[in-house]
Structure 1
Amino acid sequence: MIDPQSIRDKAKRLFGKAIKAWLAGEMEVFFPHRIPANLTPSKDQSKAIAEVESLRDHSQQATGAGYRIEWESRRSRTHGRNDFPHAIFVDTMEDLACLSNRMDDWNRLQSSVDLLRSRQPNLESWLRKGTNWKLLLELSDGLSDLLCILDYMVEHPRPDCFARELPVAVSTKLIEQHRRRLASWLDLLLPPQAIDFRFGYDQFEPRYGLRYARPHYLLRVLDQDLQHELGLPFDELSLPAESIAKLPARDQRVIIVENKVSLLSLPPMRRTLALGGLGNGVTQLSGISWLRQCDVIYWGDLDADGFRILDRLRAVLPHVESRLMEQAVVDEFRHLATDGNGDQPHETENLCESERQCYHFLCQRNLRIEQEHLPNVLIHNALSQ
């Protein structure tokens, strides 16, 4: 026969289903809920009596909350005529919360759901999806402040100020701590024209029109005549993408280099600019319109990260050519390889077939050949073509 602890264990597993029914307004359908249970008493009479008494002593009848026993009077050869447990029911959400030791969660969740529904009813679809109620429970202590941020940004889309300048009486670090959660909500609340979908959730500020400290990219002009033509007093500068976009550039080549040391080591090349210090920020180069009208070369490390950066770069600049990122280079300089980051290959839609094969080869063998280790003569010949 089932014991009280097993009933509590079943109740814990039932809690999430009951919450989803509550959110959907289906509590009257869900409760009373019958708990599947083996209610056959032991053949040993003294043991059977102890089993039944234990069930009764821990039931709603004795404690005032929890599970309810439905009894049935019947005669058995072993025990004679007695009342036997016929079914176990949980009648209400409060009983279930008490039984599963989650009364505090239930009370906090009710308050949080009421607050969310009253302040942002358009998040109802998010609330009912999957296990988002668990996320809401985790955020319950700071939910009111997060909703203040949502209220302001819905009323003032793309506010063109720094996150910490929002005129909302909440901690200035709150957006930094919860940007991904705020982003998933803002995507549901804001009109499409208020969201810049070129930027992902990890680029919260440009996605939703907030100011931020722009990343600077190292720019080198590898041709003195081109430097004079661009009106630059220096051949090496650090600028955000928006400033680079304003250069009067035309009819030049651009070499994009993953690592800064390799960028600084490039020799002079006719009508050539070089950009570095980019990493995963290569997608922000999409804002430099003149890059679409010139030849662009990418040269990165021979490893998983290098090829993924190339894949992301091609998503915004499809005509980019790669250099020194091929199997022949890996084979020739494998003695320079170190361990990679251990990642498995990801889907790469923007690599050509030879690049994709090289990428998979490096991932499967967990290899990395850093671009700084390749011979200068090889680099100069490859990039000067």
Structure 2
Amino acid sequence: MITSAEIKKKASRKYTDYLRDVAVGKTFQPIEIPCDKKASDTIAEYQKEFNNIRSLSKEVKSYGYTICWKTVKTKMLGTQGLPSKIKFETAEDFERFLQKVKEVDVFRKNVALINGKFPELQCWIEKYPLKVIDNSEYWSDILKVLGYFSKNPQPQLYIRELPIEVHTKFIEQHKTVIGELLDIVIKEKINTDEKEFEKRYNLRCDEPLVRMRILDGTLAAESFSGLDDITIPVSIFLRLQIPISKVYIVENKVNFLTFPLVANSIVIWGKGYGIASIKESELLKSSELIYWGDLDAQGFEILSQFRGYFAQVKSLLMDKTTFDKYFENDLGTPSKVNVELNLTTEEKNLYQYIKANNYRLEQEKIPQRYVIEQLKCLLD
């Protein structure tokens, strides 16, 4: 025989659908739970099960479920009454049994509050009624945030700068639900390709930095008041326009710091796959680009990625001669990349050889004199 605990469990599973009906104002329809479990084989156990199920019934407590009985003749118990189904006849019965009366009342009020401000959120409410409940105490402030963004969909401010009368950390603490709602309220203004909250909803963020050295003293003096080692936010670098012809991208920090001076040029510390952050740079689009990475599988994979952004990228010191001259039998990190890379024939042959053997020649193991010599050959 079904137990009161099992009835509670099955009724709880119907709660979400009940809330959906409440959200749309649907007239309550009795909720039924079928009973297909057999009774125990002994009178003592049967009586125990009978008392258990009846103890929480509407017949005893004046609210809750109604038991629909059927008479069954069994071999062990003779003729006995068994429940055929459990029925909640009113919304009050259902809510009181689940101890959700206050919760549902607050839910109704919040649904009215949300729809009063943003009726376009009705579908979201119906899909996620439990999220409405989970955020019961926050809806007033959430709606303030939505109201601001509906009028200012591209604020370009840091979260803490937004002129919204909520706690300073409120938006940061409720990004998930606010984000879901903003996707609906300002859907035409969001950056759909972005996952990060600030970028998706046109806010300023603590963005990555680009570090570069000005390799031309005259250029440093004329454009940067003599500064030759500069770190700036990505968004500023993307708009940067200075009179140069070449840009070198170097992965290793020491090699970046010791890169030789070159006229009309800058060198950027690439930081591995972080080069993706500067792929929209206007400066790089119009410059000759030279990439110098480690002679390992990842180095060539980054080169391929970078060349995917800028077709004019050439490699520096990533050739078989350099590898054979300075390789010290070091092993790298195995690569699981199986796609075709955007490499020249010479680069591809070396990449396949290095990848197959998991070899690695780090940039810093190439002597400075050799770097200067090869760079001079490149420039000549």
Query: Root-mean-square deviation (CA), in Å?
Result: 4.7
CA offsets per residue over residues 111-131 of structure 1, 9 Å max, x none?
4433322222222333334xx
Q: Deviations over 1:58-105 (max 9, x none)?
A: 223222343321122455565455543121223455544554565565
Partner of 1:190: 186
Corresponding position: 1:275 with 2:268: yes
Displacement after TM superposition at 1:259 (Å): 5.7
Q: Which residue of 2 aligns with 1:14?
A: 14
Aligned equivalent of 2:43, options 32, 42, 45: 45
CA offset at residue 219 of structure 1?
Answer: 1.4
Do 1:70 and 1:87's aligned partners in 2 also have CA atoms closer than 8 Å? yes
Shift of 1:8: 1.9
1:190–1:319 CA distance, 2 compared to 1 (3 A): farther
Alignment of 1:164 onto 2:157: no
Could you tell me how far 1:154 is from its partner in structure 2? 0.5
User: Are residues 1:122 and 2:111 paired?
Assistant: no
**In structure 2, which of residues 66, 70, 78 is the aligned counterpart of residue 68 of structure 1?**
66
Aligned to 1:240: 233
Give, in whole Å, the separation in 2 of the partners of 1:15 and 1:114.
Answer: 19
Check whether the contact 1:69–1:85 (CA below 8 A) recurs between aligned residues.
yes
* In 1: Cα distance, 2:294 partner to 2:102 partner: 52
C-alpha distance in 2 between matches for 1:299 and 1:83 = 85
Change (3 A) 1:116 1:232: same
3-state SS of 1:34 partner? strand
Deviation at 1:237, TM superposition (A): 1.4
Amino acid in the other structure paired with 2:55 = D
Q: In the alignment, what sits opposite 2:330? A: 335
Alpha-carbon distance change, 70 to 180 in structure 1, aligned in 2, over 3 angstroms: closer
Identify the residue that residue 249 of structure 1 maps to in structure 2.
243
Counterpart-to-counterpart distance in 2, 1:26 and 1:334: 74
Q: What per-residue deviation string (whole Å, max 9, x for no partner) do you get for residues 181-240 of structure 1?
A: 433322322263x33456x23251x54344456554211123446546756522211223
1:181/1:274 Cα in 2 relative to 1: closer, same or farther (>3 Å)? farther
> Could you tell me whether the CA contact under 8 Å between 1:296 and 1:320 is conserved in 2?
yes
1:148 maps to 144
**Residues 48 and 307 from structure 1, CA distance in 2 versus in 1: closer, same or farther, beyond 3 angstroms?**
farther
Q: Could you tell me which amino acid in structure 2 is paired with residue 274 of structure 1?
A: V
Q: Report how far residue 271 of structure 1 moved.
A: 4.2
Secondary structure class of the residue paired with 1:201:
coil
Asked if the contact 1:336–1:373 (Cα under 8 Å) also holds between the matched residues in 2, the reply is no
Residue 199 (structure 2) pairs with residue 201 (structure 1) = no
Partner residue, 2:283: 290
Partner-residue secondary structure (3-state), 2:14:
helix
CA distance in 2, matches of 1:164, 1:90: 49
Instruction: Provide the C-alpha distance between the structure 1 equivalents of 2:85 and 2:214, rounded to a whole number of angstroms.
Output: 82
Residue 178 of structure 1: which of 159, 174, 181 is its match?
174
CA 1:286–1:92 in structure 2 vs 1: closer, same or farther (change >3 Å)?
Answer: farther
Q: Normalized against structure 1, the TM-score is what?
A: 0.72
CA distance in 2, matches of 1:191, 1:155: 13
Q: Distance in 2 between matches of 1:321 and 1:300?
A: 11
Is 1:87 matched up with 2:80?
no
Match of 1:33 in 2: 31
Shift of 1:151: 0.1
Query: Per-residue deviation at 1:337?
Result: 4.5
Helix, strand or coil for the counterpart of 1:183?
helix
Structure 1 191/36 Cα, relative in aligned 2: closer, same or farther at 3 Å? closer
Structure 2: unaligned runs, 5 residues or longer? none
Change (3 A) 1:2 1:227: same
Alignment CA distance shift 1:380-1:210 (3 Å): same
Q: In 1, are the aligned partners of 2:291 and 2:315 still within 8 Å (CA)?
A: yes
Report what 2:214 is aligned to: 221
Q: Match for 2:13: what amino acid? A: R
Distance 1:333 1:117, change over 3 A: farther
Distance 1:284 1:272 in 2: 20
Which whole-Å deviations, capped at 9, do the CAs of 1:264-318 have from their partners, x for residues lacking one? 2433345432223767765553553121122334556799998997788677656
Three-state SS of the structure 2 residue aligned to 1:115 is: helix
Change (3 A) 1:268 1:248: closer
Post-superposition Cα deviations, 1:336-365, rounded to whole Å, max 9, x if no partner, equal 547x9xxx979x99964899xx89x99xxx
Q: How far did residue 153 of structure 1 move?
A: 1.4
Q: 2:2 is matched by which residue type in structure 1?
A: I
Measured at CA, do residues 270 and 371 of structure 1 come closer, stay the same or move farther in structure 2, by a change above 3 Å?
farther
* CA 46–196 in structure 1, closer or farther in 2 if over 3 Å, else same: closer
Aligned length: 364
Q: Using the alignment, how far apart are the partners of 2:105 and 2:21 within structure 1? A: 16
Alpha-carbon separation, structure 2, partners of 1:109 and 1:274: 59
Q: Which residue of 2 aligns with 1:264?
A: 257
From the CA coordinates, give the structure whose radius of gyration is larger: 2
Change (3 A) 1:333 1:158: farther
- Checking the alignment, whether the CA contact within 8 Å between 2:43 and 2:77 is kept in structure 1 is yes
CA distance in 2, matches of 1:298, 1:319: 10
